[in-house]
Amino acid sequence: MANGQHKVIICAALAGAFTTKNQNQAVPYTPEEFAEEAARCFDEGASMVHVHARDDDGMPTHDIERIRSTHDAIRERTPELIVNLSSAVGLGKTPQQRIAQILAVKPAMASLNTNTMNFSLVDRTTGRIIFDSVFENTFTMLESFGIAMEEDGIKPEIECYDIGGIDNTLLIAKQGIFSSPMNFNFVWGVAGGQRFRPDAFITMVNALPESASFTTCGVGLDQFPAITMSCLMGGHMRVGLEDNIRVPSGDLAKGSFEQVRWAVTIARCLGREVAGPDEARSIMGIRQK
Q: Is the peptide bond before 107 cis (omega within 30 degrees of 0)?
A: no
Domain 10-284 falls in which CATH fold? Answer: TIM Barrel (3.20.20)
State the pLDDT at residue 253: 98
pLDDT at 283 over 60: yes
- From the list 233, 206, 207, 199, the residue with the least C-alpha distance to 216 is 233
Q: Is the peptide bond before 28 cis (omega within 30 degrees of 0)?
A: no
pLDDT band for 289, please (50, 70, 90 cuts): confident
Mean pLDDT across the chain, nearest whole number?
96
Task: Look up the pTM and report it.
Answer: 0.95
Distances (CA, A) of 106 to 26, 87, 269: 27, 12, 36
pLDDT at 91 over 90: no
Please give the distance of CA 82 from its chain centroid, rounded to a whole number.
12
d(CA 16, CA 238): 13
pLDDT band for 92, please (50, 70, 90 cuts): confident
pLDDT at 3 over 80: no
pLDDT at 219 over 80: yes
State the pLDDT at residue 1: 39
d(CA 82, CA 74): 9
pLDDT tens digits, one per residue of 5-31: 489 999 999 999 999 999 999 999 999
d(CA 20, CA 5): 37
